[in-house]
Amino acid sequence: MKIGVPKEIKPQENRIGLTPDSVKVLISNGHQVLVENNSGFEAGFYNDQYKSVGAKIIDKAEDIFNDADIIVKVKEPLSNEVNMIKENQIVFTYLHLAAAKELTEGLIKSKSVCIAYETVTDNTGRLPLLAPMSAVAGRMSIQAGAHSLEKNQKGRGLLLGGAPGVDPANVVILGGGVVGENAALIATGMKANVHIVDKSVERLEQLQKIFGDKIIPQHSDKIDLEKLVSDCDLLIGGVLIPGAEAPKLVTKDMIKKMKRGSVIVDVAIDQGGCVETSKPTTHANPTYIVDDVVHYCVANMPGGVPRTSTLALNKATIPFLSRLANDGYKKALLEDHNFLAGLNVHRGNVTHKAVADSFGHKFVTPQEAIS
């Protein structure tokens, strides 16, 4: 098969879909790989490295979309990319469709085969292709939040870990999944007071075993969320419902009661955000203020550390991509129900229930769509 890797065109998105090592794996299996000129440059992967393992460097994205059987990206296709996607072409990338009506409609119209990294599962119900970027985003959320708390960033003027004789900042993490755990790892390392809110008692017990008395676990059904939010200095939104739009847990009224200069980092923004006042921002202009509260809502946070992120993502994706290329998508998906869970759109049909429900489309099961 021909596998195409176009340059990411989302603002300040410097990751790339495949590393040279991943390209080498695919070419060793008899496939051709087309890489857009200098698409890996900002992540530290250069044309010569791709050419040395057998990739062909292509000057224009249009030529890649025209020629490739599989398009491998990192972020969701933007409108001009959607217009280049061909019927029956396989698109393998993050999609986050439940919060993206226009993109969903465009992919339906294209009659392509769209497999979303973020809804592929494993036998434990976890999300193995989302987890690497969730880990990066979780760790970055505390770095971003700590920076945003500085006075010159319009924050409260707090050092996250305090100082000798001075109390540390209060951090509230909504969601105890991969984002929450990794946010807690950095926040506890910086000696902040860390509260983790989750609806699963079992998960909170796991986190208590990991972090001991460095965190305060809070069950979502047994807390006054409004008070917890109003008392915090840094709020991390790490809530996830796989494939669906994030629930709005923090309301406008709660924001009004937060302290002046406190900070929200809404990691869930690529699924619509879990804070009512959240809206997507970019690395170039990452923050805005609502009711004296700093909001950091960069929708592609891991794009700020593109080399780390690309390497981490490829370790997870290359086994799945190899199966797609080696076996064809029908065999690869039908033989693995976890991989099949990644199929969101298939030749004009919506094959992920949460996406179908979000926009009132008929849901067609992946098995039915492919068969």
Three-state DSSP at 64 gives: helix
In this predicted structure, which of 45-49, 191-195, 210-214, 238-242 has the lowest mean pLDDT?
Answer: 238-242
The confidence band for 360, taking pLDDT boundaries of 50, 70 and 90, is very high
Q: Give the model's pLDDT for residue 243.
A: 80
195, 270, 295, 346: the catalytic one is: 270
User: Whole-model pTM?
Assistant: 0.93
CA distance 359 to 3: 31
SS3 21: helix
User: Which listed residue (31, 69, 96, 295) is catalytic?
Assistant: 96
Element (H or E) spanning 234, and its range?
Answer: strand 234-237
Q: pLDDT tens digit string along 2-23?
A: 999 999 999 899 999 999 999 9
Whether residue 270 lies in the annotated active site:
yes
Domain boundaries, the chain: 2-119+306-370, 131-299
Looking at residue 371, its pLDDT comes to: 86
pLDDT class of 99 with cuts at 50, 70, 90 = confident
Q: What is the full DSSP assignment across 126-174?
A: --TTTHHHHHHHHHHHHHHHHHHTSGGGTS----TT-BTTBPPPEEEEE
Residue 96 a catalytic site member: yes
Give me 302's structure tokens.
Answer: 């891991």
Residue of 104, 64, 58, 55 whose CA lies nearest to 85: 64
Q: Is 193 helix (H, G, I), strand (E, B) or coil?
A: strand
What topology does CATH give the domain 2-119+306-370? Rossmann fold (3.40.50)
pLDDT digits (tens, 9 = 90+) for 275-308: 999 999 999 999 999 999 999 999 999 999 999 9
Equal fold, 2-119+306-370 vs 131-299:
yes
Pick the CATH number of 131-299 from 3.40.50.2300, 1.10.1740.10, 3.40.50.720, 2.60.40.1120: 3.40.50.720
Q: At 241, is the pLDDT very low, low, confident or very high (cuts 50, 70, 90)?
A: confident
Could you identify the residue written with the tokens 């409004």? 226
Write down the residue that tokens 């917890």 correspond to.
228
